[in-house]
Structure formats: structure tokens, C-alpha cells
């Protein structure tokens, strides 16, 4: 799409120049500038600078061919140019132009080199909202009330709890450390090939902020289960429901918290029925 706010004024100026009958030099300069303004600013979608430069090269050649193909036109361009370069009265202007050209080149290089080399920002939500219900191995859970069935053993039966944590350790080092790393810092051997990188569970901004039900969702459904806002990249996190039982998923979650010495975020259950 053309950007009419730029193209129409340029057209108006060119039509005006046609009636003003300027010198050949003025005419060539006006056309050259008009072509540049239209190419650089006249399109709704920005044209790459290299393409603009290429087209301006072609346009300069075309204008030069037009001017030099006729002795009369050529004289009209050559004579004022020679005068400008040789006559004393133009000397201050000539000095200015002589300085301005290298200055413009230097400035252009400077701005090209100092352009920030940062990737554009994409709005990826690292912890998107989970679904309301979650079906794993044909059992449907309500995400509001879902909790780790082994968590209560931590207080009531520490020995039994330790057995589940130990099982989780085995599951972690058989399945997860390739990506999430030996120390759960996200630096596993596959980590650097992935975008987004595997989550660093030692970071207090990850599992410490989350409920165990959220982890259960993420571990069972993986990258494929992420909603749109988890994009724009494809997460390589596998859907572990395809490889692990529900029990194993809860166990590896226990181990994530145990190893990192983080606490899961408490479950907010509507306190219906309590105190009756």
C-alpha cells in the first residue's frame, strides 16, 4: 500500500515544477529527490534500505542517461555545475558542500553501526493461565481444587514422603535433566539448542511462584499444551502424560521442590463446608 500522505504532496510538487519550468539541473534534482522520498517514505510497509539504495542507483543512471542523451540538456546541467565549481562567488557554498558530503557519509555509517543490536520484543507470557479443567489419562481434574496427593505426607508420614521424593529423583535424572540440567538451573546438555530455553527451577520466579497443580498441567501437557500467549516460539517441553503415570508426575514435582528447597504456592480452595 502507498502512503498517500507522502505520495500526493510529492506528485503535487512535481506537477508544480512542470509549470514553473525550472532549469534542467533543478528539474533533475527535483525528480531525484522525489524518487527518494517516495521510495523511503511512500510505502506503508517500510522498504529495506538496501532496496532503496539499489533503486536510487538505477534512477540516478536513468536520469544521467536522459540528461546526457541530448546536447542541449547536457549543456544546461554542465554549465551551472561548472560555474558552481569554478566561480569565486560560489566558494563559501562549495566549501560547505565539500564538507557536507563526507560528513553525511560518516553520519550514515555512524547511525548504521550504533543501531541497537537487540532482538525485537515479543510478548511471550511465561506463565500463561492454565485451563479450568485438565484431563490426564482419562481422569478429569478441576484445576481449582487439584493438589499433589502426596504433599500431605510431608507432615503426616515423613518416611513415606521421602520414598516418593526419592522416586521423583529417579524420574528427574532419567527424563528431565537433559534439558533442565543436573542442578535444575536450566543448563542441561540440550538447553542451548532450544528457544525458549528450559526453565531454571532454582530461579525464585519459577516454581516457587506456582501451585503444584500448575506444574502438573505443564508437565503432563508440555509445550504442545501451552495456549497462544505462551508463544511465539514452540516450546520443546515434552507432554509427559505420554511417558509417565500420574503418580510419577506428582513425584517428580515433589522432587523439583525438594531439590531446590522451594515451597509451592499454597492452594486457594473456597472454604465450603469448613467448621460445620
Binding site for ligand HEC (CB under 6 A): 127, 175-176, 178-180, 190, 194, 196, 198-199, 206-207, 215, 218-219, 223, 226, 235-238, 240, 252
C-alpha to C-alpha distance for 153 and 180, rounded to whole angstroms: 27
Nearer to ligand HEC, 135 or 242 (CB): 242
Pick 167 or 215: Cβ nearer ligand HEC: 215
Looking at beta carbons only, is 76 or 213 nearer to ligand HEC?
Answer: 213
Residue (20 or 126) nearer to ligand HEC, CB? 126
Q: Supply the minimum distance, in Å, between the C-beta of residue 135 and ligand HEC.
A: 18
Q: Hey, how many other C-beta atoms are within 10 angstroms of the C-beta on 195?
A: 9
Least CB distance to ligand HEC at residue 238 (A): 6
Which residues, including other chains, have CB under 8 Å from residue 121's CB and lie 6 or more apart? none
Residue with cell 536522459: 66
Report the nearest approach of ligand HEC to the CB of residue 215 (Å). Answer: 4
Q: How many CB atoms lie within 10 A of CB 199?
A: 21
Non-local (6+) Cβ contacts of 201 within 8 A are 180, 184, 185, 186, 207, 256, 259, 260, 262
From the list 166, 199, 194, the residue with the least C-alpha distance to 181 is 199
Q: Between 67 and 176, name the residue whose CB sits nearer to ligand HEC.
A: 176
- Least distance in angstroms from the C-beta of 10 to ligand HEC: 49
What is the nearest approach in angstroms of ligand HEC to the Cβ of residue 138? 20
Grid coordinates belonging to 179: 534439558
Residue 117 CB, nearest approach to ligand HEC (Å): 24
CA nearest to 240, candidates 214, 221, 256: 221
Decide whether 20 or 129 has the Cβ nearer to ligand HEC. 129
Q: How far is CA 224 from CA 193, 236, 245, in A?
A: 18, 8, 18
CB 239 within 8 A of CB 225: yes
Please, what is the minimum distance in Å from the beta carbon of residue 43 to ligand HEC?
37
Cβ proximity to ligand HEC: between 42 and 198 the closer is 198
Amino acid at each position: 500500500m502507498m502512503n498517500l500522505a507522502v505520495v500526493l504532496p510529492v506528485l503535487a510538487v512535481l506537477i508544480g515544477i512542470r509549470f514553473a519550468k525550472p532549469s534542467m539541473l533543478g528539474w533533475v534534482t527535483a525528480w531525484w529527490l522525489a524518487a527518494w522520498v517516495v521510495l523511503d517514505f511512500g510505502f506503508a510497509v517500510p522498504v529495506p534500505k538496501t532496496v532503496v539504495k539499489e533503486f536510487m542507483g538505477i534512477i540516478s543512471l536513468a536520469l544521467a542517461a536522459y540528461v546526457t542523451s541530448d546536447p542541449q540538456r547536457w549543456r544546461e546541467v554542465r554549465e551551472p555545475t561548472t560555474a558552481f565549481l569554478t566561480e569565486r562567488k560560489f566558494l563559501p557554498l562549495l566549501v560547505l558542500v565539500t564538507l557536507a558530503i563526507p560528513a553525511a557519509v560518516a553520519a550514515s555509517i555512524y547511525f548504521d553501526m550504533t543501531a541497537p543490536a537487540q532482538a525485537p520484543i515479543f510478548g511471550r507470557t511465561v506463565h500463561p493461565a492454565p485451563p479450568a479443567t485438565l484431563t490426564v489419562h482419562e481422569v478429569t481434574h478441576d484445576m481449582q481444587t487439584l493438589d499433589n496427593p502426596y504433599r500431605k505426607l510431608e507432615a503426616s508420614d515423613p518416611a513415606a514422603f521421602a520414598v516418593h521424593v526419592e522416586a521423583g529423583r529417579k524420574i528427574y535424572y532419567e527424563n528431565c535433566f537433559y534439558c533442565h540440567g543436573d542442578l535444575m538451573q536450566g543448563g542441561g546438555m540440550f538447553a542451548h539448542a532450544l528457544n525458549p530455553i528450559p526453565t531454571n527451577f532454582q530461579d525464585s520466579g519459577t516454581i516457587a511462584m506456582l501451585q503444584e497443580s500448575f506444574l502438573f498441567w505443564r508437565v503432563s501437557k508440555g509445550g504442545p499444551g501451552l495456549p497462544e500467549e505462551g508463544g511465539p516460539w514452540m516450546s520443546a517441553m515434552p507432554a509427559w502424560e505420554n511417558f509417565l503415570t500420574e503418580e510419577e508426575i506428582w513425584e517428580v514435582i515433589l522432587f523439583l521442590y525438594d531439590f531446590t528447597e522451594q515451597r509451592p504456592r499454597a492452594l486457594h480452595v473456597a472454604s465450603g463446608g469448613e467448621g460445620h
